[in-house]
Amino acid sequence: MNAQILHGDGIALYTNPIGCDATEDYGQFRAAILHEQGFDAAEKEISGWPGYSSTALHTLPNLARKLGISALYYKDESTRFGLKSFKALGGAYAVFRLIQKAVALQHNGHLPSPQEILSGRYADIISKMTVTCATDGNHGRSVAWGAQLFGCRCVIYIHATVSEGRRAAIAFYGAEVIRVQGNYDDSVHHAASEAAKNGWTVVSDTTYEGYRDIPIDVMHGYGVMSREIVKQLHDAPPTHVLVQAGVGALAASVCATFWQKWGAARPKFIIIEPEHADCFFQSGQVGHPVIVTGDLETVMAGLACGEVSPVAWDILKSGIDCYATLADKFALEGMRVLANPIGDDPKIVSGETGSTGLGLLMAAHENTVAWNTLGLGPESRVLMIGSEGDTDPTIYKQVVGRTAEEVLA
């Protein structure tokens, strides 16, 4: 593939020159990172948690027709375990795995089931554990929920620009929430330092030197969502999948799941970042991870990340077909379009990061070169990952003009 950089109104695209050949299999190296056994284990355990059910995969035929494509799918994570985000699958699963391992150390290697842990049988062990992380909002909420559900202590760090609504949503699950100065990456480093000082365990979705097993558990947890999509599509792959980047944990999990399942028939893989927090876009151009500094200002709060996760990069550096950045205005417009559907398309409540896929489609639709660069046309069947609902109801109402309840009424 020849590298190509395109800059348009609120959109930039970079085609990946080292993207693997379409016939390349998932590979031994990648399978050592995210593997089918890990996805199997996460699916088995999470499907047994209280309140588990598959989230909806919406079809939007009228919007697809307006955009000039064959089909448009939206995986709606706004109902996931009541946390309104796919993140519920990852952080909480990693907390569960930590607790399993702690119990096993004291009970001859026995890995307890969710039901055994929830029964309180091992409360004497679990109550002494403390988990922590830094968050833009959704991951911390998942870790806090998992800690509350399974019975351990939780301390969450948020950075300067995390909204008060997102802080309160984390505290709702019993976590101690501490705000620190700086951006998201600064809060990540602070959480790691405090954990080392206090003997706590960091539950992060990003890897760094000497720390990878827990983020891999997080990514395997995310795979539950991708496997649901495979079943909901009746094993018929879309032609394109649009996935939010952030540190890359979600994108790597989706990429790995689809690559393992569909091989050469897997969809064209496009990742999306805010234009001022584009660590993958910058990294792709030089072929290795690049740190983006500054305040990383964007309304897409969950994507305000300046450093890629090294383990995610190892999968995505050859799994991505196209890197994309997006201006805030398109993400916000995507929220409004989903809330005000065409004809009998479903009404969808999407937060600022959940609407990025549609935002990219709308931006590209106004730019013929961008549309063609993405390989979109009348036969395209596009999957969008609706990663969150109204995780901050105040911001949602400001953008859409109505509450989520009013939209869905």
Q: Name residue 151's amino acid.
A: G
Per-residue pLDDT tens digits of the chain, which is 409 residues long: 456 788 888 999 999 988 777 778 998 999 999 999 999 999 999 999 999 999 999 999 999 999 999 999 999 999 999 999 999 999 999 999 999 999 999 999 999 999 999 999 999 999 999 999 999 888 999 999 999 999 999 999 999 889 898 999 999 999 999 999 998 889 988 999 999 999 999 999 888 888 899 999 999 999 999 999 999 999 999 999 999 999 999 999 999 999 999 999 999 999 999 999 999 999 999 999 999 998 888 999 889 889 999 999 999 999 999 999 999 999 999 999 999 999 999 999 999 999 999 999 999 999 999 999 999 999 999 999 999 999 999 999 999 999 999 999 9
Alpha helices (H) in 263-327, listed in sequence order:
279-286, 310-319
pTM: 0.94
Tell me the C-alpha distance between 132 and 136, whole Å.
13
Helix (H, G, I), strand (E, B) or coil at 79: helix
Name all domains of the chain by residue range, CATH numbers in brackets: 4-85+215-408 (3.40.50.1100), 91-204 (3.40.50.1100)
DSSP 8-state secondary structure symbol assigned to residue 293: -
Alpha helices (H) in 172-274, listed in sequence order:
184-198, 213-232, 249-262
List active site positions.
87, 136
Q: Name residue 62's amino acid.
A: N
For 258, phi and psi rounded to 5 degrees?
-70, -35
Closest CA to 306 of 349, 248, 393, 364: 248
Separation in Å, CA 290 to CA 30, 205, 247, 282: 21, 18, 12, 6
For 81, phi and psi rounded to 5 degrees?
50, 25
Cα 328 off chain centre by: 18
